[in-house]
A and B are shown apart, each in its own frame.
Chain A
Amino acid sequence: MKKEQREKLVFSLLTLTAALVVIPTLLMIGYIIFRGIGTISWEFLSAMPRKGMREGGIFPAIVGTVSLVLGTMIVALPLGVGSAIYLTEYAKQGFLTRTIRLAILNLAGVPSVVYGLFGLGLFVLFLGFGSSILAGALTLACLVLPVVITASEEALKSVDFSYRQASLALGATKWQTIRHVVLPHAAPGIVTGAILAIGRAAGETAPILLTVAAFFLPRLPQSIFDQVMALPYHLYIISTQVPGMPESIKYGTALVLLGIVSIFFAIATAIRIRFKMANR
Protein backbone atom coordinates (compact mmCIF):
# COMPACT_ATOMS: atom_id res chain seq x y z
CA MET A 1 0.00 0.00 0.00
CA LYS A 2 1.27 3.42 -0.89
CA LYS A 3 2.01 6.02 1.71
CA GLU A 4 -0.77 8.30 0.51
CA GLN A 5 -3.33 5.52 0.59
CA ARG A 6 -2.32 4.48 4.06
CA GLU A 7 -2.57 8.09 5.15
CA LYS A 8 -6.13 8.24 3.83
CA LEU A 9 -7.08 4.96 5.44
CA VAL A 10 -5.79 5.95 8.86
CA PHE A 11 -7.49 9.30 8.58
CA SER A 12 -10.85 7.75 7.75
CA LEU A 13 -10.53 5.20 10.54
CA LEU A 14 -9.82 7.93 13.06
CA THR A 15 -12.74 9.99 11.78
CA LEU A 16 -14.94 6.95 12.17
CA THR A 17 -13.89 6.32 15.79
CA ALA A 18 -14.56 9.95 16.63
CA ALA A 19 -17.95 9.79 14.96
CA LEU A 20 -18.82 6.59 16.83
CA VAL A 21 -18.30 8.44 20.10
CA VAL A 22 -20.63 11.23 19.06
CA ILE A 23 -23.42 9.05 17.71
CA PRO A 24 -24.57 7.34 20.95
CA THR A 25 -24.53 10.69 22.77
CA LEU A 26 -26.65 12.34 20.11
CA LEU A 27 -28.97 9.36 19.88
CA MET A 28 -29.50 9.27 23.62
CA ILE A 29 -30.16 12.98 23.94
CA GLY A 30 -32.32 12.96 20.83
CA TYR A 31 -34.35 10.00 22.03
CA ILE A 32 -34.97 11.52 25.45
CA ILE A 33 -36.03 14.80 23.89
CA PHE A 34 -38.24 13.00 21.39
CA ARG A 35 -39.98 10.88 24.03
CA GLY A 36 -40.08 13.45 26.78
CA ILE A 37 -40.84 16.76 25.13
CA GLY A 38 -44.58 16.05 24.96
CA THR A 39 -44.77 15.80 28.74
CA ILE A 40 -43.10 19.12 29.43
CA SER A 41 -45.67 21.69 30.39
CA TRP A 42 -45.83 24.46 32.92
CA GLU A 43 -47.83 22.19 35.19
CA PHE A 44 -45.28 19.37 34.93
CA LEU A 45 -42.50 21.75 35.95
CA SER A 46 -44.31 23.68 38.66
CA ALA A 47 -46.87 21.39 40.30
CA MET A 48 -46.67 18.87 43.09
CA PRO A 49 -46.97 15.21 42.12
CA ARG A 50 -50.42 13.70 42.55
CA LYS A 51 -52.05 10.27 42.51
CA GLY A 52 -49.00 8.27 43.51
CA MET A 53 -46.82 10.42 41.20
CA ARG A 54 -48.72 9.28 38.14
CA GLU A 55 -50.10 12.77 37.62
CA GLY A 56 -49.21 16.33 38.41
CA GLY A 57 -45.66 17.66 38.26
CA ILE A 58 -42.16 17.11 39.58
CA PHE A 59 -41.56 20.53 41.10
CA PRO A 60 -40.27 19.30 44.49
CA ALA A 61 -37.74 17.02 42.78
CA ILE A 62 -36.49 19.94 40.67
CA VAL A 63 -36.11 22.12 43.77
CA GLY A 64 -34.37 19.23 45.52
CA THR A 65 -31.83 18.65 42.79
CA VAL A 66 -31.08 22.36 42.32
CA SER A 67 -30.55 22.86 46.04
CA LEU A 68 -28.35 19.76 46.27
CA VAL A 69 -26.16 20.93 43.37
CA LEU A 70 -25.83 24.43 44.82
CA GLY A 71 -25.10 23.07 48.30
CA THR A 72 -22.51 20.67 46.92
CA MET A 73 -20.70 23.43 45.02
CA ILE A 74 -20.77 25.81 48.01
CA VAL A 75 -18.92 23.14 50.02
CA ALA A 76 -16.75 21.52 47.36
CA LEU A 77 -15.42 24.56 45.47
CA PRO A 78 -13.73 26.41 48.37
CA LEU A 79 -12.45 23.16 49.88
CA GLY A 80 -11.22 21.80 46.56
CA VAL A 81 -9.62 24.99 45.28
CA GLY A 82 -8.12 25.66 48.71
CA SER A 83 -6.48 22.27 48.93
CA ALA A 84 -5.30 22.50 45.33
CA ILE A 85 -3.60 25.82 46.14
CA TYR A 86 -2.02 24.27 49.21
CA LEU A 87 -0.77 21.26 47.26
CA THR A 88 0.67 23.15 44.29
CA GLU A 89 1.86 26.38 45.88
CA TYR A 90 2.68 25.84 49.52
CA ALA A 91 3.28 22.20 50.38
CA LYS A 92 6.83 20.93 50.17
CA GLN A 93 6.76 18.22 47.53
CA GLY A 94 7.52 14.99 49.33
CA PHE A 95 6.05 12.05 51.17
CA LEU A 96 3.09 13.97 52.56
CA THR A 97 1.98 15.49 49.25
CA ARG A 98 2.46 12.14 47.50
CA THR A 99 0.24 10.49 50.11
CA ILE A 100 -2.41 13.19 49.73
CA ARG A 101 -2.38 12.86 45.94
CA LEU A 102 -2.67 9.08 46.19
CA ALA A 103 -5.61 9.49 48.56
CA ILE A 104 -7.32 11.85 46.12
CA LEU A 105 -6.81 9.43 43.24
CA ASN A 106 -8.26 6.61 45.32
CA LEU A 107 -11.23 8.72 46.36
CA ALA A 108 -11.99 9.28 42.69
CA GLY A 109 -12.20 5.52 42.21
CA VAL A 110 -14.52 4.76 45.14
CA PRO A 111 -17.99 3.62 43.98
CA SER A 112 -20.65 6.19 44.67
CA VAL A 113 -22.75 3.90 46.83
CA VAL A 114 -19.82 3.71 49.24
CA TYR A 115 -19.94 7.52 49.52
CA GLY A 116 -23.63 7.08 50.28
CA LEU A 117 -22.89 4.69 53.13
CA PHE A 118 -20.13 6.95 54.40
CA GLY A 119 -22.49 9.94 54.33
CA LEU A 120 -25.15 7.92 56.09
CA GLY A 121 -22.73 6.93 58.81
CA LEU A 122 -21.00 10.27 59.31
CA PHE A 123 -23.46 13.05 58.45
CA VAL A 124 -26.87 11.46 58.91
CA LEU A 125 -26.25 9.35 62.00
CA PHE A 126 -23.05 10.36 63.78
CA LEU A 127 -23.34 14.13 63.32
CA GLY A 128 -27.09 13.90 63.64
CA PHE A 129 -28.04 15.92 60.55
CA GLY A 130 -30.65 13.29 59.75
CA SER A 131 -31.71 12.60 56.24
CA SER A 132 -31.40 16.17 54.96
CA ILE A 133 -30.18 18.52 52.23
CA LEU A 134 -27.16 19.27 54.43
CA ALA A 135 -26.18 15.61 54.75
CA GLY A 136 -26.80 14.99 51.04
CA ALA A 137 -24.83 18.04 49.86
CA LEU A 138 -21.90 17.16 52.14
CA THR A 139 -21.90 13.58 50.85
CA LEU A 140 -21.99 14.74 47.24
CA ALA A 141 -19.25 17.26 48.03
CA CYS A 142 -16.99 14.40 49.20
CA LEU A 143 -17.81 12.62 45.98
CA VAL A 144 -16.88 15.51 43.68
CA LEU A 145 -13.89 16.81 45.69
CA PRO A 146 -11.35 14.67 43.79
CA VAL A 147 -12.60 16.09 40.49
CA VAL A 148 -12.45 19.67 41.73
CA ILE A 149 -9.01 19.24 43.31
CA THR A 150 -7.46 17.48 40.32
CA ALA A 151 -8.82 19.99 37.80
CA SER A 152 -7.77 22.95 39.97
CA GLU A 153 -4.31 21.52 40.49
CA GLU A 154 -3.81 21.05 36.77
CA ALA A 155 -5.06 24.59 36.14
CA LEU A 156 -2.74 26.06 38.77
CA LYS A 157 0.26 24.10 37.54
CA SER A 158 -0.30 25.24 33.97
CA VAL A 159 0.19 28.90 34.92
CA ASP A 160 3.58 29.81 33.49
CA PHE A 161 6.38 30.26 36.00
CA SER A 162 7.38 33.53 34.36
CA TYR A 163 4.18 35.20 35.64
CA ARG A 164 4.83 34.19 39.23
CA GLN A 165 8.42 35.29 38.82
CA ALA A 166 7.37 38.68 37.41
CA SER A 167 4.93 39.24 40.25
CA LEU A 168 7.41 38.29 42.97
CA ALA A 169 10.10 40.45 41.37
CA LEU A 170 7.71 43.41 41.69
CA GLY A 171 7.71 42.98 45.44
CA ALA A 172 4.42 41.11 45.69
CA THR A 173 4.10 38.55 48.46
CA LYS A 174 3.43 34.91 47.71
CA TRP A 175 -0.26 35.16 48.59
CA GLN A 176 -0.65 38.36 46.53
CA THR A 177 0.94 36.54 43.61
CA ILE A 178 -1.47 33.62 43.97
CA ARG A 179 -4.49 35.86 44.47
CA HIS A 180 -3.82 38.39 41.70
CA VAL A 181 -1.84 36.49 39.08
CA VAL A 182 -2.06 32.72 39.49
CA LEU A 183 -5.77 32.37 40.30
CA PRO A 184 -7.04 34.66 37.50
CA HIS A 185 -4.89 32.76 35.02
CA ALA A 186 -6.11 29.42 36.35
CA ALA A 187 -9.79 30.37 36.68
CA PRO A 188 -11.03 28.91 33.37
CA GLY A 189 -9.47 25.53 34.21
CA ILE A 190 -10.94 25.59 37.70
CA VAL A 191 -14.39 26.30 36.26
CA THR A 192 -13.98 23.30 33.95
CA GLY A 193 -13.50 21.16 37.05
CA ALA A 194 -16.60 22.71 38.55
CA ILE A 195 -18.60 21.84 35.44
CA LEU A 196 -17.61 18.18 35.69
CA ALA A 197 -18.46 18.22 39.39
CA ILE A 198 -21.91 19.72 38.76
CA GLY A 199 -22.70 17.00 36.26
CA ARG A 200 -21.85 14.30 38.74
CA ALA A 201 -23.60 15.95 41.69
CA ALA A 202 -26.81 16.39 39.72
CA GLY A 203 -26.86 12.88 38.33
CA GLU A 204 -25.77 10.62 41.21
CA THR A 205 -28.46 8.46 42.76
CA ALA A 206 -26.84 6.12 45.26
CA PRO A 207 -25.34 8.74 47.62
CA ILE A 208 -28.53 10.79 47.88
CA LEU A 209 -30.65 7.67 48.26
CA LEU A 210 -28.98 7.05 51.61
CA THR A 211 -28.58 10.61 52.84
CA VAL A 212 -31.33 12.93 51.65
CA ALA A 213 -33.75 11.75 49.00
CA ALA A 214 -37.39 11.19 49.85
CA PHE A 215 -39.53 8.65 48.06
CA PHE A 216 -42.53 10.91 47.89
CA LEU A 217 -42.74 14.31 49.54
CA PRO A 218 -45.19 16.68 47.90
CA ARG A 219 -44.01 19.86 49.62
CA LEU A 220 -40.96 22.10 49.48
CA PRO A 221 -38.11 21.96 52.01
CA GLN A 222 -38.17 24.68 54.67
CA SER A 223 -34.51 24.45 55.71
CA ILE A 224 -31.32 22.59 54.95
CA PHE A 225 -32.31 20.05 57.58
CA ASP A 226 -35.29 18.88 55.54
CA GLN A 227 -35.50 15.92 53.24
CA VAL A 228 -36.18 16.55 49.58
CA MET A 229 -37.09 14.62 46.50
CA ALA A 230 -34.41 14.62 43.83
CA LEU A 231 -34.65 13.99 40.11
CA PRO A 232 -32.31 11.00 39.66
CA TYR A 233 -33.84 9.14 42.58
CA HIS A 234 -37.34 10.11 41.46
CA LEU A 235 -36.57 8.74 38.04
CA TYR A 236 -35.35 5.50 39.56
CA ILE A 237 -38.52 5.17 41.65
CA ILE A 238 -40.99 5.88 38.90
CA SER A 239 -39.15 3.55 36.56
CA THR A 240 -39.00 0.58 38.92
CA GLN A 241 -41.21 0.98 41.96
CA VAL A 242 -44.49 2.41 40.71
CA PRO A 243 -46.63 0.07 38.66
CA GLY A 244 -48.60 1.57 35.84
CA MET A 245 -46.43 4.66 35.53
CA PRO A 246 -46.90 6.29 32.10
CA GLU A 247 -43.72 6.13 29.97
CA SER A 248 -44.10 9.78 29.05
CA ILE A 249 -43.57 10.92 32.66
CA LYS A 250 -40.35 8.91 32.91
CA TYR A 251 -38.93 10.45 29.78
CA GLY A 252 -40.21 13.86 30.78
CA THR A 253 -38.40 13.56 34.11
CA ALA A 254 -35.19 12.44 32.38
CA LEU A 255 -35.47 15.39 30.02
CA VAL A 256 -35.89 17.82 32.91
CA LEU A 257 -32.81 16.39 34.63
CA LEU A 258 -30.88 16.77 31.40
CA GLY A 259 -32.18 20.33 31.07
CA ILE A 260 -31.17 21.33 34.59
CA VAL A 261 -27.66 19.95 34.13
CA SER A 262 -27.44 21.83 30.81
CA ILE A 263 -28.50 25.08 32.48
CA PHE A 264 -25.79 24.66 35.11
CA PHE A 265 -23.27 23.90 32.35
CA ALA A 266 -24.35 26.98 30.45
CA ILE A 267 -23.91 29.19 33.51
CA ALA A 268 -20.48 27.72 34.23
CA THR A 269 -19.44 28.08 30.60
CA ALA A 270 -20.55 31.71 30.60
CA ILE A 271 -18.41 32.34 33.69
CA ARG A 272 -15.51 30.57 32.01
CA ILE A 273 -15.80 32.72 28.92
CA ARG A 274 -15.95 35.85 31.04
CA PHE A 275 -12.72 34.85 32.79
CA LYS A 276 -11.08 34.16 29.48
CA MET A 277 -12.13 37.54 28.12
CA ALA A 278 -10.92 39.28 31.25
CA ASN A 279 -7.60 37.51 30.88
CA ARG A 280 -7.08 38.54 27.32
Chain B
Amino acid sequence: MSKISVKDLNLHYGSFHALKNINLDICEREVTALIGPSGCGKSTFIRSLNRMNDLIDGVKIDGEMFLEDQDIYQPDVDVVSLRRRVGMVFQSPNPFRKSIYENVAYGPRRYGIKSRNQLDEIVERSLREAALWEEVKDRLKSSALGLSGGQQQRLCIARALAMEPEVLLMDEPTSALDPIATSRIEELIDQLKKEYTIVIVTHSMQQAARISDKTVFFLMGEVIEADDTQVIFTSPRDQRTEDYVTGRFG
Protein backbone atom coordinates (compact mmCIF):
# COMPACT_ATOMS: atom_id res chain seq x y z
CA MET B 1 0.00 0.00 0.00
CA SER B 2 1.31 3.41 -0.79
CA LYS B 3 1.97 5.71 2.15
CA ILE B 4 3.30 8.68 0.27
CA SER B 5 2.35 9.50 -3.25
CA VAL B 6 4.08 12.23 -5.22
CA LYS B 7 2.54 13.71 -8.35
CA ASP B 8 4.33 16.06 -10.77
CA LEU B 9 6.53 17.58 -8.09
CA ASN B 10 8.83 20.40 -9.20
CA LEU B 11 11.23 22.27 -6.96
CA HIS B 12 13.25 25.39 -7.76
CA TYR B 13 16.07 26.91 -5.76
CA GLY B 14 15.86 30.42 -7.15
CA SER B 15 16.43 29.83 -10.84
CA PHE B 16 17.85 26.32 -10.41
CA HIS B 17 15.40 23.56 -11.28
CA ALA B 18 16.40 21.01 -8.62
CA LEU B 19 13.58 18.47 -8.93
CA LYS B 20 11.86 17.85 -12.23
CA ASN B 21 8.42 16.27 -12.55
CA ILE B 22 8.82 13.72 -9.82
CA ASN B 23 6.17 11.01 -9.75
CA LEU B 24 6.69 8.40 -7.10
CA ASP B 25 4.89 6.12 -4.67
CA ILE B 26 6.45 5.16 -1.38
CA CYS B 27 5.06 2.00 0.15
CA GLU B 28 4.03 1.53 3.74
CA ARG B 29 6.34 -0.48 6.02
CA GLU B 30 9.06 -0.84 3.47
CA VAL B 31 12.49 0.64 3.13
CA THR B 32 12.83 2.87 0.10
CA ALA B 33 16.39 3.81 -0.81
CA LEU B 34 17.16 6.94 -2.82
CA ILE B 35 20.40 6.64 -4.76
CA GLY B 36 22.23 8.74 -7.32
CA PRO B 37 25.36 10.81 -7.75
CA SER B 38 26.02 13.94 -5.66
CA GLY B 39 23.77 16.83 -6.58
CA CYS B 40 21.15 14.62 -8.22
CA GLY B 41 18.37 15.90 -5.95
CA LYS B 42 17.89 12.90 -3.66
CA SER B 43 18.59 14.89 -0.49
CA THR B 44 16.43 17.76 -1.70
CA PHE B 45 13.66 15.26 -2.35
CA ILE B 46 13.82 13.60 1.06
CA ARG B 47 13.80 17.02 2.71
CA SER B 48 10.66 17.93 0.84
CA LEU B 49 8.84 14.97 2.43
CA ASN B 50 8.65 16.75 5.80
CA ARG B 51 8.92 20.25 4.35
CA MET B 52 12.38 20.93 5.75
CA ASN B 53 13.06 22.84 2.53
CA ASP B 54 10.68 25.50 3.86
CA LEU B 55 13.59 26.68 6.01
CA ILE B 56 15.64 27.61 2.96
CA ASP B 57 15.05 30.97 1.33
CA GLY B 58 14.10 31.00 -2.31
CA VAL B 59 12.67 27.49 -2.57
CA LYS B 60 9.54 27.14 -4.69
CA ILE B 61 7.62 23.91 -4.88
CA ASP B 62 4.65 22.92 -7.00
CA GLY B 63 2.89 19.68 -7.58
CA GLU B 64 1.22 17.37 -5.10
CA MET B 65 2.57 15.23 -2.33
CA PHE B 66 0.08 13.07 -0.50
CA LEU B 67 0.73 11.60 2.90
CA GLU B 68 -2.12 9.09 2.90
CA ASP B 69 -5.00 11.28 1.74
CA GLN B 70 -3.61 14.69 2.70
CA ASP B 71 -1.69 16.92 0.28
CA ILE B 72 1.07 18.21 2.56
CA TYR B 73 1.74 21.26 0.40
CA GLN B 74 -1.73 22.71 0.82
CA PRO B 75 -1.59 26.10 2.55
CA ASP B 76 -3.74 24.96 5.48
CA VAL B 77 -1.35 22.14 6.45
CA ASP B 78 0.23 22.59 9.88
CA VAL B 79 3.94 21.97 9.33
CA VAL B 80 4.54 21.25 13.02
CA SER B 81 2.07 18.36 13.11
CA LEU B 82 3.29 17.11 9.72
CA ARG B 83 6.80 16.82 11.15
CA ARG B 84 5.46 14.84 14.08
CA ARG B 85 4.12 12.31 11.59
CA VAL B 86 7.23 12.34 9.42
CA GLY B 87 10.37 12.12 11.53
CA MET B 88 13.90 12.69 10.31
CA VAL B 89 17.45 11.59 11.05
CA PHE B 90 20.30 13.61 9.62
CA GLN B 91 23.65 12.90 8.04
CA SER B 92 25.89 13.54 11.00
CA PRO B 93 24.69 12.71 14.51
CA ASN B 94 23.39 15.92 16.11
CA PRO B 95 22.19 15.19 19.65
CA PHE B 96 21.38 18.30 21.68
CA ARG B 97 23.80 19.25 24.43
CA LYS B 98 21.46 17.71 26.97
CA SER B 99 21.28 14.41 28.80
CA ILE B 100 20.44 11.20 26.96
CA TYR B 101 17.03 11.22 28.63
CA GLU B 102 16.29 14.84 27.70
CA ASN B 103 17.30 14.24 24.10
CA VAL B 104 14.71 11.51 23.70
CA ALA B 105 12.09 13.38 25.74
CA TYR B 106 12.61 16.56 23.71
CA GLY B 107 9.89 15.98 21.11
CA PRO B 108 7.24 14.66 23.54
CA ARG B 109 7.92 17.53 25.95
CA ARG B 110 7.44 20.11 23.20
CA TYR B 111 4.25 18.29 22.24
CA GLY B 112 3.05 18.97 25.78
CA ILE B 113 3.58 15.68 27.60
CA LYS B 114 4.50 16.50 31.20
CA SER B 115 3.80 13.34 33.19
CA ARG B 116 7.05 11.87 34.42
CA ASN B 117 5.76 8.30 34.11
CA GLN B 118 4.62 8.80 30.57
CA LEU B 119 7.94 10.37 29.60
CA ASP B 120 9.86 7.55 31.30
CA GLU B 121 7.87 5.04 29.26
CA ILE B 122 8.42 6.90 25.99
CA VAL B 123 12.15 7.21 26.63
CA GLU B 124 12.54 3.51 27.42
CA ARG B 125 10.41 2.38 24.47
CA SER B 126 12.24 4.65 22.03
CA LEU B 127 15.69 3.66 23.26
CA ARG B 128 14.74 -0.02 23.06
CA GLU B 129 13.42 0.42 19.53
CA ALA B 130 16.69 2.12 18.59
CA ALA B 131 18.66 -0.78 20.14
CA LEU B 132 20.39 1.57 22.55
CA TRP B 133 18.59 0.88 25.84
CA GLU B 134 20.93 -1.79 27.17
CA GLU B 135 23.97 0.42 26.58
CA VAL B 136 22.64 3.57 28.23
CA LYS B 137 20.00 2.54 30.75
CA ASP B 138 22.36 3.20 33.69
CA ARG B 139 23.40 6.64 32.53
CA LEU B 140 20.29 8.28 31.16
CA LYS B 141 21.12 11.46 33.06
CA SER B 142 24.59 11.85 31.63
CA SER B 143 25.37 13.94 28.59
CA ALA B 144 24.52 12.64 25.15
CA LEU B 145 27.81 14.05 23.88
CA GLY B 146 29.67 11.38 25.85
CA LEU B 147 28.35 8.67 23.54
CA SER B 148 30.26 7.32 20.56
CA GLY B 149 29.31 8.47 17.07
CA GLY B 150 27.31 5.35 16.34
CA GLN B 151 25.51 5.54 19.68
CA GLN B 152 24.78 9.21 19.06
CA GLN B 153 23.19 8.36 15.74
CA ARG B 154 21.04 5.65 17.34
CA LEU B 155 20.10 8.23 19.97
CA CYS B 156 18.99 10.55 17.17
CA ILE B 157 16.90 7.70 15.78
CA ALA B 158 15.41 7.12 19.25
CA ARG B 159 14.71 10.84 19.50
CA ALA B 160 12.78 10.71 16.24
CA LEU B 161 10.94 7.50 17.24
CA ALA B 162 9.80 9.12 20.50
CA MET B 163 7.25 11.09 18.47
CA GLU B 164 5.83 7.81 17.10
CA PRO B 165 6.10 9.03 13.53
CA GLU B 166 4.51 7.09 10.69
CA VAL B 167 7.38 7.76 8.33
CA LEU B 168 11.08 7.95 9.18
CA LEU B 169 13.35 9.86 6.81
CA MET B 170 17.07 9.16 6.97
CA ASP B 171 19.47 11.38 5.07
CA GLU B 172 22.71 9.40 4.70
CA PRO B 173 22.50 8.29 8.33
CA THR B 174 25.69 6.22 8.26
CA SER B 175 27.99 8.40 6.18
CA ALA B 176 29.77 9.70 9.30
CA LEU B 177 30.07 6.28 10.96
CA ASP B 178 32.57 3.44 10.95
CA PRO B 179 31.64 0.05 9.41
CA ILE B 180 30.66 -1.58 12.70
CA ALA B 181 28.39 1.28 13.74
CA THR B 182 27.01 1.27 10.19
CA SER B 183 26.06 -2.38 10.33
CA ARG B 184 24.29 -1.85 13.67
CA ILE B 185 22.22 0.93 12.13
CA GLU B 186 21.44 -1.28 9.14
CA GLU B 187 20.22 -4.08 11.42
CA LEU B 188 18.15 -1.51 13.23
CA ILE B 189 16.55 -0.29 10.01
CA ASP B 190 15.62 -3.87 9.21
CA GLN B 191 13.83 -4.10 12.57
CA LEU B 192 12.15 -0.73 12.27
CA LYS B 193 10.52 -1.38 8.93
CA LYS B 194 8.04 -3.70 10.67
CA GLU B 195 6.51 -0.62 12.27
CA TYR B 196 7.58 2.33 10.19
CA THR B 197 7.76 3.46 6.60
CA ILE B 198 11.40 4.29 5.98
CA VAL B 199 12.96 6.45 3.30
CA ILE B 200 16.74 6.52 3.24
CA VAL B 201 19.21 8.48 1.13
CA THR B 202 22.46 6.63 0.67
CA HIS B 203 25.67 7.05 -1.24
CA SER B 204 26.52 3.41 -0.87
CA MET B 205 24.98 1.11 -3.41
CA GLN B 206 25.86 -1.90 -1.29
CA GLN B 207 23.86 -0.36 1.52
CA ALA B 208 20.87 0.25 -0.73
CA ALA B 209 21.10 -3.33 -1.97
CA ARG B 210 21.39 -4.74 1.56
CA ILE B 211 18.63 -2.91 3.36
CA SER B 212 16.02 -1.61 0.95
CA ASP B 213 12.91 -3.13 -0.59
CA LYS B 214 12.53 -0.43 -3.22
CA THR B 215 15.20 1.67 -4.85
CA VAL B 216 14.78 4.98 -6.63
CA PHE B 217 17.53 6.22 -8.92
CA PHE B 218 17.86 10.00 -9.24
CA LEU B 219 19.88 11.78 -11.90
CA MET B 220 20.04 15.54 -12.51
CA GLY B 221 16.84 16.17 -10.59
CA GLU B 222 14.82 13.47 -12.29
CA VAL B 223 13.68 10.05 -11.22
CA ILE B 224 15.21 7.76 -13.82
CA GLU B 225 13.93 4.53 -12.44
CA ALA B 226 12.04 3.30 -9.38
CA ASP B 227 11.46 -0.37 -8.77
CA ASP B 228 12.08 -3.32 -6.48
CA THR B 229 15.64 -3.15 -5.27
CA GLN B 230 16.41 -6.50 -6.79
CA VAL B 231 15.22 -5.38 -10.20
CA ILE B 232 17.23 -2.15 -10.03
CA PHE B 233 20.41 -4.01 -9.20
CA THR B 234 20.03 -7.03 -11.46
CA SER B 235 17.96 -6.05 -14.45
CA PRO B 236 17.36 -2.29 -14.66
CA ARG B 237 15.36 -1.06 -17.62
CA ASP B 238 17.32 2.13 -18.18
CA GLN B 239 20.90 2.13 -19.42
CA ARG B 240 21.83 5.03 -17.10
CA THR B 241 20.65 3.07 -14.06
CA GLU B 242 22.72 0.12 -15.11
CA ASP B 243 25.79 2.32 -15.67
CA TYR B 244 25.36 3.81 -12.20
CA VAL B 245 24.74 0.63 -10.22
CA THR B 246 27.55 -1.18 -11.97
CA GLY B 247 29.86 1.70 -11.02
CA ARG B 248 30.54 3.06 -14.47
CA PHE B 249 29.94 6.62 -13.22
CA GLY B 250 28.91 8.42 -10.04
Contacts and interface: CB of A to CB of B under 8 A. Distances in A.
Interface of A: 160, 162-173, 176, 180-181, 184-185, 279-280
A170 B97 contact: no
Contacts of B90: 162, 165-166, 169
A168 B84 CA distance: 10
Interface string B108-128: 001100000000000000000
A276 to B, nearest CB: 9
A170 B159 CA distance: 8
Given A162-B90, A176-B110, A180-B110, A169 B96 contact: no
A279 B146 CA distance: 12
Give chain A's interface secondary structure class: helix
A207 to B, nearest CB: 38
B156 interface: yes
Interface of B is mostly: helix
26 contacts: A160-B94, A162-B92, A162-B94, A163-B94, A165-B52, A165-B94, A166-B90, A166-B96, A168-B52, A168-B83, A169-B87, A169-B88, A169-B90, A169-B160, A170-B107, A170-B110, A170-B160, A170-B163, A171-B80, A171-B81, A171-B110, A171-B111, A173-B80, A173-B110, A184-B97, A280-B143
A167 B105 CA distance: 12
Nearest to A172: B110
Interface of B: 50, 52, 55, 80-81, 83-84, 87-88, 90, 92, 94, 96-98, 106-107, 110-111, 143, 145, 156, 159-160, 163
Given A160-B94, A162-B90, 18 more contacts: A162-B92, A163-B94, A163-B96, A166-B94, A166-B156, A169-B52, A169-B87, A169-B90, A170-B84, A170-B163, A171-B84, A171-B110, A171-B111, A173-B110, A176-B110, A181-B96, A184-B97, A185-B97
A173 B83 CA distance: 10
A173 B98 CA distance: 19
B83 A170 contact: yes
Contacts of A168: 52, 55, 83
Contacts of A163: 94, 96
